[in-house]
Amino acid sequence: MEIGLIQGETSTPTLLTALPTTEQQRRRAIALSVMIPVYNERHLVAASVGRVLALQSERISRLEVVIVDDRSKDGSWEILQRLAAADERIKLIRHERNMGKGAALRTALEHVTGDVCIVHDADMEYNPADIPAILEPFIEEGADAVFGSRYISAQYRRALMFRHTQINRLITSLTNWATDLDLTDVETCYKAVNTRLLKSLPLRSNDFRFEIELTMKLAKRRARIYEVPIRYSPRSYEEGKKIRARDGILALLAILKYWLIDDIYMDDAYGSNILNDLQSARRFNQWMADTLRPHIGDRVLEIGAGIGNLTNQFIPREFYVASDINPPYLEYLRSYSMGKPYMRVMHIDACERADFEPIQGAFDTAIMVNVLEHVADEQGTLANLRSALAPDGRVVILVPQHPSLYGSLDEVLGHRERYTEAGLRKSLTAAGFEVEKVFDFNRVSVPGWFLNARLLRRTNFSIVQLKFLEMIMPLIRLLDRVLPWHGISAIGVARKTG
């Protein structure tokens, strides 16, 4: 897609028309993966799986059922083998030993291929006829996750066990305090999640604590979670209900654990784990945004937007494109852009000229924070940014400073180099920009970086140090003005000429 522009004209109306919104890109039907953990359910499993296979809805383009037998001893495995042989939509896996519900779901997740995954227990307590309604928010609202709630008002509902219900509500309330969500049923089995998002979460729990862990990590990833009322037919403990009081106590401990621990990204090629440590520093990000904001115009391209820590500081604008190359980040940004008609989300690799061809001359500002030091072709990247700017457009670039500080953290983050003020000026000038100013940012962190990256050779950021810096950020902003050395970062502002 190429967008032709007349020099001097604003490109915003053309781009707004040519680049589809997130709403326009929504799927009208979903490839669904149903994950079923099974342990000793021979009396119910055939009927339960049969109800899933009978699902028919215009919202479901393709159905696959991934069943993990958690080393059943009652004949469930033999029944599942017969079911799998009779229906090619079933993928059947068996554990070598009993490991628990959470472990079974981790195994299932390795085999799913759908757009959305949902958990279905084999005990007949949940009705698959509710699944099409659960898919609705994915299609209509761009949801990241949808929980089926047993407690939301519906046309009718079955009266449930009072004490069990109160325990569930206590666990849900404490989870809500920890996450600042207002869920009604955190322990529900029916949790549907965007598959790409779900696969990017490091899920560690082997047992029923999976429910708490998943919810807490979705909240920390800022997932857009919806709830839908569902039916529920509980069985008694005499009939084989597996959850016990012990699981309630473990759930309470899990809330505390996952509130304290920010383990929310799988290891990947983008360094998401270590970058998340920095992105969780909200006051720091506010300081950075306040520093950059005076140099930002109305039509903005942001390269390497991540999960929108700066994006949410700079919008609304006349037109704003947030870009990244990390798939989980792009999923989040697309969800975040819902209801923002001025915002678009694009996959843009700063080094790839083809990614910039649709947006030639479209912006008055291009922002690139902590990206230039990663790219192999610095001048090619700057040329790409220049091509996206209208005449007299500005590029605003933040890079790490002080070559003498290069250490273990730079290596882990994939930094090609740390810049000097003169080096950044030279690079911008060589790319055809007229440098307006280069200035320091964040002098306070220089001693800490030297300690962690050079002396201690750490490979991740100290959460304790980061939280302490967050606490004293107002003082840091005052102190930073008077420290005599250069900042840990340099910010360059340059204008497109010629």
Query: Which pLDDT tens digit goes with each residue over 415-464?
Result: 999 999 999 999 999 999 999 999 999 999 999 999 989 998 988 777 77
What 8-state DSSP symbol labels residue 161?
P
Q: How many helices (H) and strands (E) does the chain have?
A: 19, 14
DSSP 3-state of 192: strand
**Is residue 4 situated within a structural domain?**
no
Give 376's pLDDT tier (boundaries 50, 70, 90): very high
Tokens of 137: 């928010």
Asked if 421 and 475 sit in the same domain, the reply is yes
Residue 289 has pLDDT above 50, yes or no: yes
Query: How far apart, in whole angstroms, are the C-alpha atoms of residue 4 and residue 1?
Result: 10
Model confidence pLDDT, tens digit, residues 193-229: 999 999 999 999 999 999 999 999 999 998 999 999 9
Is the domain of 332 the same as that of 361?
yes
Residue 369 forms part of a structural domain:
yes
Is the confidence at residue 11, as pLDDT, over 70? no
**What would the mean pLDDT of 167-175 be, rounded to a whole number?**
95
pLDDT the model gives residue 414: 86
What are the pLDDT digits (tens) for 336-362?
A: 898 899 999 999 999 999 999 999 999
pLDDT tens-digit readout, 80-126 = 999 999 999 999 999 999 999 999 999 999 999 999 999 999 999 99
| Residue 162: count of CB within 10 angstroms of its CB | 8
**Based on the domain organization, do 161 and 308 belong to the same domain?**
no
Query: What distance in Å separates the CA atoms of residue 45 and residue 6, rounded to the nearest whole number?
Result: 65
**At which of 230, 260, 290 does a domain end?**
260
Residue 156 inside a domain? The answer is: yes
The dihedral built from the CA positions of residue 252, 254, 257 and 260, taken in this order, carries a sign that is negative
Percent helix / strand / coil, the chain, rounded to 5? 40, 20, 40
Looking at the structure, tell me whether residues 241 and 348 fall in a common domain.
no
| pLDDT value for 379 | 97
Confidence of residue 2 (pLDDT cuts 50, 70, 90): very low
Rounded to the nearest integer, the mean pLDDT of the chain is 90
Do 220 and 316 share a structural domain? no
- Please choose, from the candidates 65, 348, 104, the residue with its C-alpha nearest in 3D space to the C-alpha of residue 210: 104
46, 96: one domain: yes
Q: Is residue 320 part of a domain?
A: yes
pLDDT at 9 over 80: no
**Domain range spanning residue 186?**
30-260
- Cβ neighbours for 472, distance < 8 A, ≥ 6 positions apart: none
For residue 14, pLDDT over 70 is answered with: no
Same domain for 314 and 255: no
91 plus 181 within the same structural domain: yes
Same domain, 330 and 471: yes
Residue 375 lies in a domain: yes
Query: Is residue 209 domain-resident?
Result: yes
How many structural domains comprise the chain?
2
Residue 8 has pLDDT above 50, yes or no: no
Whether 336 and 221 map to the same domain: the answer is no
Residue 153 or residue 431, greater confidence: 431
Q: Which residue, 260, 294, 319, sits at the end of a domain? A: 260
Instruction: Check residue 106 and give its pLDDT.
Output: 97
Evaluate if residue 3 carries a pLDDT over 60.
Answer: no
Q: How confident is the model at residue 413 (pLDDT cuts 50, 70, 90)?
A: confident
Q: What is the DSSP string of 413-431?
A: HT-S--B-HHHHHHHHHHT
Highest mean pLDDT among 57-71, 159-173, 267-281: 57-71
24-38 burial, b at 16+ Cβ within 10 Å, e below that, comes to: eeeeeebbbbbbbbb
What is the model's pLDDT at position 274? 66
Cβ burial of 485 (10 Å; 0-12, 13-18, 19+) is: exposed
- Predicted confidence at residue 196, as pLDDT, reads 92
423 and 462 housed in the same domain: yes
The domain spanning residue 398 has which CATH number?
A: 3.40.50.150
CATH number where 173 lies: 3.90.550.10
**Average confidence (pLDDT) over 308-333:** 93
Q: Residue 6: what pLDDT?
A: 35
State which H helix or E strand residue 94 sits in.
strand 90-94
- Which of 225, 260, 295 is at the close of a domain? 260
Percent of the chain with pLDDT strictly greater than 90: 73
Give a yes or no: residue 21 inside a domain: no
391 located within any domain: yes
Clarify whether residues 420 and 282 are in a common domain: yes
What is the C-alpha separation between 69 and 103, in angstroms, rounded?
11
Q: Per residue in 221-270, pLDDT tens? A: 989 999 999 999 887 666 666 677 788 899 999 999 999 888 888 876 66
